[in-house]
Amino acid sequence: MQKPSLPTLDQLLSTADSALRTVFSLPHASRENPAQQSETTSLSATEKKHAAALMRVNHTGEVCAQALYTAQSLATQDPALRRHFDHAAAEETDHLAWTRQRLNELGARTSLLNPLFYAGAFGLGLLAGKLGGDKVSLGFVAETERQVEAHLHSHLRRLPPADHASRAIVAQMKDDEARHADEALEAGGVLLPKPVRSLMHAAGRVMTRTAHYI
């Protein structure tokens, strides 16, 4: 049986660079921000505060997505699967940039706990990749994206109706996450056991409730 190879120095440096850029740098999107095609947004102070809290949660979710895909790219030994994870991470960078821009427009900050959330998501992604193998790792991605899709769907109901900019961003993110889940299953992902899915859901609720305020 062939022993798993250790990550190369380039992979480790790339992983560290990704973490620093995600948590501390201003991200740049490769796609046009969906909000640019939306109607003009006019919100009251209360609506801005509410929208900002929701978009802060969404931004933190994208921080976690970056950590997840980066960890699983590091964990897999399949070059094709590594390219799959890297491509998905690039699209999540768009989400990261869009939500960060919207927070700036709303005069709000990102979560102070993002470094902690990144570390936790990275650890889970690495654990799934190393202990479960590629099929479980892809299943973990699929379940994560399904839960995020449902979470974004709830935000579309909760965002102020007049906040066209935030709603346009969330709607595009929701479509992208659904596609990422489908792609992970098509690539060979397996359905995770119900207790694992429930634990992931509980962890997600802790993150969303915390990032809403902090």
Q: For residue 20, what pLDDT is reported?
A: 65
Q: For residue 41, what pLDDT is reported?
A: 72
Q: For residue 194, what pLDDT is reported?
A: 84
Q: How far apart are CA 95 and CA 176, in angstroms?
A: 9
CA dihedral 89, 93, 96, 98 (to 10 degrees): -140
Average pLDDT, 10 consecutive residues per value, the chain (214 residues): 57 68 78 82 89 94 87 84 84 91 94 90 82 83 89 93 94 92 88 84 84 85
Task: Please give the structure tokens belonging to residue 179.
Answer: 């596609």
**Which residues does 17 contact at the CB level (< 8 Å), separation at least 6?**
none
pTM to 2 decimal places: 0.86
CATH code reported for the domain at 44-213: 1.20.1260.10
